[in-house]
Chains A and B, each alone.
Chain A
Amino acid sequence: MHLQHFCGLLLFMSEPLTIVVVEQDRDRALAIVDALKGAGDCEVVVIGHSSGLARRIAAHSPDVVLIDIENPTRDMLEELTLASGPLERPVAMFVSGAASGLARAAVEAGISAYVVDGLRPERLKPILDTAIARFHVVHQMRAELAETRRALEERKVIDRAKGLIMKARGVNEDDAYAILRKAAMDQGRRVAEVAEALVTAAGLLS
């Protein structure tokens, strides 16, 4: 995937910023691009595939590179900080003191931003604010998805534990659940934990 978007609004007197977004998920990439386009005068390039990442990023000589902190290919970007050829520009992760608050906010939002040396914080801020807001939404969705999956897993384990109790003690489903819940309360643990322990133990005995 290799998309290019040009932001048409000439709000600044200076050259438009070039922003590279490293993101494999096409939908997420498009959402981030749309948000950034609204934030100011910039050209946004999305790079999805990770092979030769540093070289492909350097070819765009970006002012800002944005990548999800959870992305394991992020270490490939570290090579950018070593750019030393005459045509390459060094990129640092927020070296200037003025941007350190921004850097912290970005890290907490789960985003890493590499910024070319000397880029003024007032030019960077609207972009990062937008990116941070966008990443917040993405991370929230991811957390909700994980929570849903976990709840589903737990329900499966509880069902299996109920089945074991029904078989072993000859009780009905409601009673089996009551036994589980009482054990959980007595031990100060969650029902799902007790169910998990029972299923594991039963697996060892069978």
Chain B
Amino acid sequence: MKLTPLSVGYVPLVDAAPLMVADQMGFAETEGLALELVPAPSWSSLRDMVAFGKVGAAHMLSVVPVAMAMGLGGMTTPLSAALVMSVNGNVIGVGRALEARLREQGYGFDFADAAAAGAALARAADGPLVIGAPFPFSMHVELLHYWFAATPLSGLPIEIRTVPPPMMAQALAEGEIDAFCVGEPWGSVSVENGAGALLLPGKAIWSFAPEKVLAVRSDWAEADPQLLGRLMRAVWRAGRWLSQPDSHTAAAELLSRRGYLDIPPEVVDRALSGRLTITPGGEQRRSEGLVEFHAGAANFPWRSQAKWMAAQLAARHGLDREAAIRAAGQVYRTDLYRRHMAGVGAELPSASEKLEGAILHPTAVPTQAGRLTLQPDTFFDRRIFDPSA
């Protein structure tokens, strides 16, 4: 069989795993694809590579296509999120100085309770805080703002500063930032380098936060729908493989390779297994589903997820909320997902939107073919976002 070549861009992170697995474990080949994986040095470069057609598709921050649809950022080419590649996966960490002050207060670093962590951090901070995040349009920044607003951190002068993930540990060690929110393995790398300690997983703020999407130019999605469908199915099968505990060791080995992350496999494995070392002293914490590639219909691009991001962005940037929410609804393509994922075993929920934050326990919902169990999607302050309100 002759394979169709297709270039796909990514930023070296644990959550780019579905692309590497699709390429290396034969899922792309099964769909007749020869993937050319192109690492990008920055998110803005990757966005431009998709927009200008240097790559067909990309591993992309979930917020970027929404922000672009709202006219935020330097580029306005319409992008579509064909599926969610991963849910959760970020960690929040603090530098050694803040870690020491938190300990002096008797804070236990439970790596779970966002309200308690916010209150403790606000007490420990003795002045303005500078917090590093990889990109202005990212779930990292959205989670940080959400966390600040609902904790005593709201009373502090806080600056969020853009720092590329591989430079986060160094920026923390040099005191350029006091804390960070970053995707794995870069949080664990700062622990490994002795630069900081991990305070919270991102999921402690929003327990089912879409983190990366498979992004394509909207006109590309229409120009060659068959090609997109094959890519989506390969990525979806790779995500299903990654979600099996038996796959973690092999996946960590694969990702740690020099061409991909170039990080020791035991450090990569922490995010995949949810067993994190949170301090340079070696304290361990468990966090189930730290990054999720499959379970609970993780790959379904709920329009309500995009609308939540749009509402947050609109409020912060002074844009019209209704227009933003309308634009965002066009970007998360439940229609593409339903069209291309029928018949491969992917669960297709009957609805395309849900009340974000309303699922407190694993809940069975109707699908086009039967039933599906959705995972909790709560915000730590138990607020609920109604996409139609």
Contacts and interface: CB of A to CB of B under 8 A. Distances in A.
A71 to B, nearest CB: 7
B162 A82 contact: no
A91 B171 CA distance: 26
Interface in A57-96: 69-79, 81-82, 84, 91-95
B45 A79 contact: no
Interface in B30-89: 41-45, 48-49, 52, 54, 72-76
A115 B346 CA distance: 44
Interface in B161-205: 161-164, 166-167, 171, 174, 176
Contact of B164 (A73, A79, A112): A73
A82 B48 CA distance: 18
Given A51-B176, A82-B317, A75 B44 contact: yes
A35 B162 CA distance: 30
A28 interface: no
Contacts of A50: 167
Contact of A93 (B74, B135, B136, B162): B74
A26 interface: no
Contacts, number: 77
B41 A78 contact: no
Question: How big is chain A's contact interface, by range?
Answer: 20 to 34
Contacts of B93: none
B44 A74 contact: yes
B118 interface: no
A74 B74 contact: no
B162 A54 contact: yes
B134 interface: yes
Contact of B74 (A76, A78, A108): A78
A190 to B, nearest CB: 18
Contacts of A69: 41, 45, 48
Those 9 A-B pairs whose CB atoms lie nearest each other, nearest first: A93-B74, A74-B42, A75-B42, A72-B164, A81-B74, A76-B162, A72-B41, A92-B74, A69-B45
24 contacts: A51-B176, A71-B41, A72-B41, A74-B45, A75-B42, A77-B44, A78-B73, A78-B135, A78-B136, A78-B162, A79-B162, A82-B136, A82-B317, A84-B317, A91-B74, A92-B74, A93-B44, A93-B74, A93-B75, A104-B52, A107-B54, A112-B44, A112-B48, A114-B74
